[in-house]
Amino acid sequence: MFLMVFLQARSQSVSIESIRINNTISYSIHLSNLLKSDLTIDSITKVPKIMDASQADSLVYIGETYFEYNYNSKICQLKMVIFDNKVVTISIGKNILSAKTTFQDLTMMFPIDCKLTKAISIYGEKNPYETCSVGVTDGKGNLWDMRIVFFLQDDILTRVDFWEPV
């Protein structure tokens, strides 16, 4: 039984190395490479107190999408994608998601993990979301303790978070 659940989890998981925003910027990127990219950084800010569990030194914003930045390593890690006029798509494996992606699309892409959604409310936001999520592996196929969470409103994908337990 455990082996069957483990194999299902692995089959639904996506490689962290396959993730790209606007088909160019990876999940983890050196700040100097992000600065050289086609996307303009809007701001680099301190991590707000409400995010006190974050290990980041700063948040790097491109539109409403943000990366957590570590000063010592100079690495930016993608944490939240909000589709806007700057970040139009996110590629996850062979799938390309955008503000036009529907729940039905997610169900076809991730039939095990996204066959149902769960309701969630986020502090400070007035409208609730429906969510589903998939697991993450590294380039060698090792399962990570991370989930990619898809947030939908009115059956349309509006946000993608990269969630790790603290």
pLDDT tens by residue, 77-106: 999 999 999 999 999 989 999 999 999 999
Q: 88, 13 in Cβ contact below 8 A? A: no
Q: Domain range holding 158?
A: 2-163
Q: Choose between 102 and 56: higher pLDDT.
A: 102
Question: What's the pTM?
Answer: 0.88
Average pLDDT for the chain = 88
DSSP state of 102: B
Q: 103, 111 in Cβ contact below 8 A? A: no
Percentage with pLDDT > 90 across the chain: 72
Instruction: Report pLDDT digits (tens) over 99-136.
Output: 999 999 999 999 999 999 999 998 888 899 999 999 99
**Domains identified in the chain, total number:** 1
Place of tokens 């349309």: 156
Q: Choose between 25 and 166: higher pLDDT.
A: 25
pLDDT given at position 49:
67
Determine the average pLDDT of the residues in 158-165.
Answer: 92
Distance CA 54, CA 57 (A): 8
pLDDT at position 48 over 80: no
